[in-house]
């Protein structure tokens, strides 16, 4: 798939099949994430956690439900959650830019692999609020979960969208 086609085909998927994602596809997604540009090349300040354990996924989903006051699964029944965590960075909030770059690379590769994905921003808040959950995910005390994505096979086929300037652009 060409880059622009992957960009046009990537969508926020909010309904997943119960099908497991192959390890080889997860590996490619992780390689794409690890290839993202990182501020000051501080790769050693970041961690990626792949969550496939159904009990832990349910715990995070329940925490999200309580925080969001909803009665549906805010992780959309996805079989995989990928969390990005960071140590304290030398520049304020750069970890959010780093996580954004990592997640976008991973979501584009997920699209390339025939998978759907969506950012689950609140997953990090749940993990950070529950010390036992953070410990179960092997996230060290000096790291903070920043954000995450879910990945899986979409319930419905996704059509590529036309690439347009849909955001206001000023040219000065």
- Average pLDDT, 10 consecutive residues per value, the chain (172 residues): 87 96 98 96 96 97 95 96 96 95 98 97 96 97 97 93 94 96
Per-residue pLDDT, 172: 97
Per-residue pLDDT, 48: 98
Domains of the chain (ranges, CATH numbers): 3-152 (3.40.109.10)
* Other CB atoms within 10 Å distance of the CB of residue 62: 13
Cα-Cα-Cα-Cα torsion 130, 135, 138, 142, nearest 10 degrees, comes to 80
Q: Which residue has the tokens 């092997």?
A: 138
């Amino acid at each position: 798939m060409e880059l622009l086609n992957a960009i046009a085909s990537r969508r926020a998927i909010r309904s997943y099949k119960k099908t497991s994602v192959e390890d080889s596809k997860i590996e490619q997604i992780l390689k794409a994430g690890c290839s993202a540009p990182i501020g000051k090349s501080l790769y050693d300040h970041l961690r990626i956690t792949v969550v496939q354990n159904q009990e832990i996924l349910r715990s995070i989903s329940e925490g999200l439900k309580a925080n969001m006051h909803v009665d549906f699964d805010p992780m959309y029944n996805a079989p995989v959650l990928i969390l990005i965590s960071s140590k304290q960075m030398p520049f304020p909030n750069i970890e959010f830019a780093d996580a954004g770059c990592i997640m976008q690379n991973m979501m584009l590769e997920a699209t390339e692999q025939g998978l759907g994905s969506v950012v689950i921003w609140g997953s990090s808040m749940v993990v950070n609020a529950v010390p036992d959950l953070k410990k179960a995910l092997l996230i060290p005390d000096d790291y903070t979960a920043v954000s995450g994505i879910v990945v899986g096979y979409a319930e419905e086929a996704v059509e590529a969208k036309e690439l347009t300037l849909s955001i206001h652009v000023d040219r000065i």
